[in-house]
Amino acid sequence: MKFNSILRSLALVAALASTVPLLAKPYSKTINIAQSAKIGKADLQAGEYRLMIDGNKATVQKGKQTIAESEGRWEDRATKSSTDSVLISDGQVKEVRFAGQTRVFVFND
């Protein structure tokens, strides 16, 4: 009898643990790109976009239209960023920094 109780408890814990990622909200932020750049294979003109990051997947929208999708990862930096900013190198968006946070989203090449 005690074994069944332990088994049920473990099953309940496993079920609850699997739902935790479902409760995480995607991170959404308006970003400004000062010059033409690429995210993944998509070319973006200078302007304002909506960046949504869900886990390791980033989606860029202009209005309701999806402009680009790319994979990336979260990384921690030693200092907090003072402003929201987009790091562009060789015409490619490399990372997005968020004001007041030490973590940045780095795009895969």
Give dist(CA 91, CA 107) in Å, integer.
13
CA atoms within 13 A on the CB side of 32: 4
Beta-carbon count within 10 A of 60 CB: 21
User: Average pLDDT for consecutive 10-residue bins of the chain (109 residues)?
Assistant: 65 57 74 93 94 95 94 95 94 95 92
SS3 39: strand
pTM for this model (two decimals): 0.75
